Every structure is written in C-alpha cells, then in structure tokens.
Structure 1
Amino acid sequence: MTEVTINSNICGFVHKVYGKRDGKNIIIDIETDCEKIKKISHMEIPMDQTLDIKDNYVMTKAQEAKCSSNCLVPCGILHVCRMEMGLLSESLAKKSGNISIDFK
C-alpha cells in the first residue's frame, strides 16, 4: 500500500491518500476535509486509464467534482497510482521527499 500526504497550502487542506493495487485497478481512498475531494475520496482506477493526461480517469473524476485547475490532489493520486504500478519506485519517491511549487 502506498500512502502520501498532500499539503494544499493555498486552500488550507491536508489530504491523506492511500492506494493499493487490486488486479488491473488501483483502489484509492482519501481522508480529507475538502468537500470537493470527498466526492472522489474512493475510486477504483483502471491502470490503463492513468498514463495519458487527456484520457485520464483521475482527471475526469476531478473535473466532475469541480476541482480547481490548481488542485494538487489529482497529481498526487497519479503519483500513488504510478508507485502501485511499479512505474515510480518507492525508494526514489522517499529519497525525493517532497514535491513543491515555490512562489517567488
């Protein structure tokens, strides 16, 4: 199981995302106080629908939930999916630590 914490400092929410591979799907569960993210807090994501940014299950669900275009959660979910699929190594992710956008 993969677990990440997403700190959405701009909107003030912290989200805990949990992912686990189940056959050809990734099961995602999210602990959050954000009402929009709660709408996508449990997803069964087909692995073959995570690789393209345009035809992407996660992005479609985020759009349906009316997430802001600057929401970090869909990107974080896709990182979890990639880790569960073996496309992003856990050791590399842990070594990297945080991903950030620094505003100047």
Structure 2
Amino acid sequence: MTEFTVNSTICGFVHKIHGSKKGNKIIVDIETPCEKIKKFSHMEVPMMEILDIKNNYVIDRAQEAQCSSNCLVPCAVLNLCRMESGFLAKSLVKKAGSISIEFDEV
C-alpha cells in the first residue's frame, strides 16, 4: 500500500491518494473535496498503461474529468502507480522526500 498527500496550493485543495497492487492493476482511491477529482477518485489502473504520457490510463481519466493542466493529482497518481508496480523504487522516493514546484518571481 502506498499513500500520498497532495497539497494543491493553487486551488486550495488537499487530496489523500491510496493505492495498492492487485494482479496486473493498481487500485487507486482518492479522498478529495474537488468535484473534478471525485469523478475519477476510484480507478483500477492497468500497470502497462502508465508508462507513456500519450497513451496513459490516468491522464485519459483526468482529461475526461476536465482537470486543469496544472493539477498535481494525475502526476501524483502516476508516481503512486509506478511505485506500486515496481517501476519506481520506494527507497528512492523515500530518500527524495517530497516533490515541489517553486514559482520564482518574474
């Protein structure tokens, strides 16, 4: 089981993402106050459909839910799926800590 917390400071929402591997799928559940994210808050993600950004199960579901292009949740779900499927080492993620985007003033 992998769990992430996503702090979407731009929209003000905090999302809790849970996932675990079951056969050749990653079962993902998202606790969220966001109506768009709720539209795809439960997914059974095929492991082999997370590798490419173009033909990607998670990105397709986010697009169907009309998520904005700056939404961090699809990226977090992809990282969770990659960890659960073994394509991304949990030890590497633990060592790296959190992921952030810092906006520099222009």
TM over 0.5: yes
Q: TM-score, normalising length from structure 1?
A: 0.98
- Corresponding residue of 1:90: 90
Gapped regions of structure 2 (runs ≥ 5)? none
SS of match in other structure, 1:66? coil
Q: CA deviation at 1:26?
A: 0.4
- Corresponding residue of 1:35: 35
| In structure 1, C-alpha distance between the alignment counterparts of 2:18 and 2:85, rounded to whole Å | 14
- Corresponding residue of 1:61: 61
| In structure 2, C-alpha distance between the alignment counterparts of 1:101 and 1:37, rounded to whole Å | 20
Amino acid aligned to 1:89? A
The reply on whether 1:5 has 2:5 as its aligned counterpart is yes
Q: CA deviation at 1:89?
A: 1.3
Gapped regions of structure 1 (runs ≥ 5)? none
Percent identity for Structure 1 against Structure 2: 66
- Higher mean Cα deviation, 18-27 or 86-95? 86-95
| In structure 1, C-alpha distance between the alignment counterparts of 2:96 and 2:9, rounded to whole Å | 19
Q: CA deviation at 1:91?
A: 1.5
Amino acid aligned to 1:20? S
Report how many residues are paired: 104
What is the root-mean-square deviation of aligned Cα atoms in Å?
A: 0.6
- Corresponding residue of 2:78: 78
SS of match in other structure, 2:83? helix
| In structure 2, C-alpha distance between the alignment counterparts of 1:97 and 1:14, rounded to whole Å | 18
Q: CA deviation at 1:92?
A: 1.2
Q: Could you list the runs of 4 or more consecutive aligned residues of structure 1 that deviate by over 3 angstroms after TM superposition?
A: none
- Corresponding residue of 2:52: 52
